[in-house]
């Protein structure tokens, strides 16, 4: 069994308050299709979704970025086709709130993976050079084999996106794959 971790593919990160924009919109169908395939195969599918409280003076991102993924707002909704996949299969998809870049930081993700004997984590979502990167590094440091779908990640920084893809492969030994291959 593998784990698919879909990271921060929400309205705020695609078109909302902190948008990746066109690169994020362009991967919508690919993300939904890959997610559906993993659900159909019976793999462990995780929606790792950023969560913030409005005007939280103690969270470091409050001064780094505009308000985003605020509890109870449209910004936290999964984007586009992915929302439909989630609604159809929410009994088979694990929703996990996260409050830091990495899906492992302050969450029960590692425990959930260990309970299922999972050694391979497959990552997609946004932003390649922030939350995908930090999750990949933590996964590597915890001994997981990391795979990243290059056609299902995006960033608002194209240079950072390309650097992160090289870093995944060159420094973490991750498999970089294309869903169409």
Record the tokens describing residue 144, joined without a space. 């997981």
Domains contained in the chain, CATH given: 3-177 (3.40.50.850)
Burial (CB < 10 A; 0-12, 13-18, 19+), residue 157, is middle
DSSP state of 90: T
Torsion of CA 57, 60, 63, 69, to 10 degrees: -80
Is 7:123 a contact under the CB 8 Å cutoff?
yes
> Which pLDDT tens digit goes with each residue over 93-113?
999 999 999 999 999 999 999
| pLDDT band per the 50, 70, 90 thresholds, residue 28 | very high
Is 52:12 a contact under the CB 8 Å cutoff?
no
- Residue 88 sits at φ, ψ, to 5 deg, of -70, -30
> Which pLDDT tens digit goes with each residue over 51-105?
989 888 888 888 778 789 999 999 999 999 999 999 999 999 999 999 999 999 9
* Residue 21 to residue 39: CA distance in whole angstroms: 27
pTM score of the predicted model: 0.96
Is 1:116 a contact under the CB 8 Å cutoff?
yes
Question: In the beta sheet, which residues pair with residue 96?
Answer: 48
């Amino acid at each position: 069994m593998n784990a698919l971790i879909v990271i921060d593919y929400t309205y705020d990160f695609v078109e909302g308050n902190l948008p990746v924009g066109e690169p994020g919109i362009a991967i919508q169908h690919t993300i939904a299709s890959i997610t559906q395939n993993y659900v159909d195969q019976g793999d462990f599918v995780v929606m790792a979704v950023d969560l913030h409280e409005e005007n939280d003076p103690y969270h470091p991102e409050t001064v780094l970025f505009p308000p985003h993924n605020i509890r109870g707002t449209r910004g936290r909704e999964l984007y586009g086709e992915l929302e439909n996949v989630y609604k159809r299969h929410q009994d088979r998809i694990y929703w996990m709130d996260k409050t830091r870049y990495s899906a492992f930081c302050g969450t029960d993700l590692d425990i959930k993976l260990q309970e299922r004997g999972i050694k391979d984590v497959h990552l997609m979502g946004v932003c390649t050079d922030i939350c995908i990167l930090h999750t990949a590094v933590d996964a590597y440091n915890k001994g997981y084999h990391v795979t990243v779908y290059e056609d299902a990640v995006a960033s608002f920084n194209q240079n950072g996106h390309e650097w992160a893809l090289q870093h995944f492969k060159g420094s973490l030994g991750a498999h970089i794959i294309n869903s169409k291959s």
